[in-house]
Amino acid sequence: MTNVVAIVGRPNVGKSTLYNRLIGEQEAIIDNISGVTRDRLYGTSEWNGIPFTVIDTGGFVHGSDDIFEAEIRRQVQIAIDEATVIIFMVDVTTGITDLDEEVANMLRRGRKPVILVVNKVDNNQRLLDANEFWSLGFESTFFLSSITGSGTGELLDALAESLDATPDELDTDLPKFAIVGQPNVGKSSLTNALLGEERNIVTDIAGTTRDSIHSRYSKFDRDFYLIDTAGLRKKAKVHEDLEFYSVIRAIRAVEEADVCLLLIDATTGIESQDMSVFQLAVKRKKGVVILVNKWDLLEKETNSAKDFEAKIKKKLAPFNDVPVIFISALTKQRIFKAMETALDVYERRQQRIKTSELNDVMLKVIEKYPPPSKKGRFIRIKYVTQLPGSSPAFAFFCNYPEYIQASYRNYLENQLRKQYDFSGVPISIYFRKK
């Protein structure tokens, strides 16, 4: 299972700043007003080859009547329950507070590894002041400044040592397909239809499935894992404690999977939250198949499926080289075609192209339309090779890699897709100095 790192602590100690630094993006709002982070944020990071999900929780405030602070306390407790490792952040400028002591007591009662981070240690006086935090009794204690980044390398080294670098217990040789999408779109119904048994509870209440369920499908000479997830909801709608478990486990399922089957509701079309799930899968370089469920509920007009698919792909742009299958989990319409397509995407994601063949094909393409010059520099791409990895990635070696524009990168990706079948598979392109 994916490693989950939760950053906890009272408000305004710098959790969001550290979160942004760990994931490499400015996602969390940074402000010096106490309690800015009202919701959990989650992103991914990697250190020493070990990937992990990072959760930025709201600040822990005990005994407050404020509804937001009461919710934040619940968020922190759930993050503690779900996390593989907990980063407990405190502020050197305020010293140890009663709230810090209370959070420390909560963490000591748990059995999860805890790393104490004393933040805002950016000068010699604060370095001396930070030593009082050893009294909290955590063996793994680090002094750092999340704003400048000093000390974060040592923190990440310790974090990596505490995380699980071993693969999950599933048969890793078998394809893993995650059925993802919004609540009540029919994920469990699809799983049950494929397995031929009522493995999951199916009701018309959104969010019935609270956990990710792994089921092995071994029929008709096919063998793979199905991962049925709880629905991914907009963070603004994640109110219940159990819903947060669902979100984290759904993210884990995406990261575990080789191919994500994104179910959308034919009666509503593709919505913003569907796009968020799609982008999550693409960002993690997973194969993607779009399944339009409940298609039997719509009247079959001439070319309606074709028009519906065109609308979907317009929204998915620029990466819209994705199979779209119209199904009904209830009537089992095209559900086996959906799985055949997922297996095809899995195979395409695994494909490896010989370097000699790649150069024969792509250098001719580049010769026809070379990269435009920039700042008087003529760019020459001399060599291309596929990089090792779990998803297709290609390195183009040239004299001025920093001058190649995004439009030309898109051109090369389109040509790769034209020459080789990568439908449903995100590909990565890198430019390197020759």
pLDDT digits (tens, 9 = 90+) for 340-377: 999 999 999 999 999 999 999 999 999 999 999 888 88
pLDDT of res. 18: 87
pLDDT of res. 91: 93
Q: How many whole angstroms separate alpha carbon 46 and alpha carbon 392?
A: 19
CA angle 235, 236, 240 (to 5 degrees): 80
Q: How many whole angstroms separate alpha carbon 83 and alpha carbon 364?
A: 50
pLDDT of res. 280: 84
Are 127 and 134 spatial neighbours (Cβ–Cβ below 8 Å)? no
Which helix (DSSP H) or strand (DSSP E) does residue 41 occupy? strand 41-47
Helix (H, G, I), strand (E, B) or coil at 54: strand
**What's the 3-state SS for 152-163?**
HHHHHHHHHHHC
Distance of CA 270 to CAs 235, 257, 259, 368, 380, Å?
18, 22, 19, 38, 41
Q: Which amino acid is at 253?
A: A
Q: Which amino acid is at 429?
A: I
Per-position DSSP letters for 284-301, written without gaps between them: TT-EEEEEEE-GGGS---
pLDDT of res. 79: 64
Q: Considering the chain, what is the average pLDDT of its residues?
A: 80
pLDDT of res. 196: 75
Q: How many whole angstroms separate alpha carbon 308 and alpha carbon 269?
A: 8
Residue with tokens 């390398």: 153
Strands 287-293 and 259-265: parallel
Backbone angles phi, psi at 106, to 5 degrees: -60, -45
Q: Is 214 exposed, middle or buried (0-12, 13-18, 19+ CB in 10 A)?
A: middle
> What is the sign of the dihedral through the CA atoms of 393, 394, 399 and 400?
negative
Q: How many whole angstroms separate alpha carbon 259 and alpha carbon 164?
A: 23
Please tell me whether the peptide bond between 183 and the residue prior to it is cis, using omega within 30 degrees of 0.
no
Residues in the chain predicted with pLDDT less than 70, given as ranges, are 1-2, 25-43, 58-76, 78-79, 164-172, 197-214, 220, 229-250, 299-303
pLDDT of res. 392: 95
Are 240 and 75 spatial neighbours (Cβ–Cβ below 8 Å)? no
Q: How many whole angstroms separate alpha carbon 276 and alpha carbon 247?
A: 13
Q: pLDDT tens, 174-200?
A: 899 998 888 778 887 888 888 775 544
pLDDT of res. 220: 66
Q: pLDDT tens, 265-315?
A: 998 888 887 888 888 889 889 999 999 998 988 756 555 888 889 999 999
Cα within 13 Å of Cα(144), Cβ side? 25
Q: Which amino acid is at 42?
A: Y
Q: How many whole angstroms separate alpha carbon 148 and alpha carbon 354?
A: 44
Q: How many whole angstroms separate alpha carbon 137 and alpha carbon 142?
A: 13
pLDDT of res. 62: 54
Q: Which amino acid is at 55?
A: I
Q: How many whole angstroms separate alpha carbon 38 and alpha carbon 281?
A: 26
Residues above pLDDT 90, as percent of the chain: 38
pLDDT of res. 255: 81
Strands of 50-56's sheet, edge to edge? 41-47, 50-56, 3-8, 85-91, 114-119, 141-143
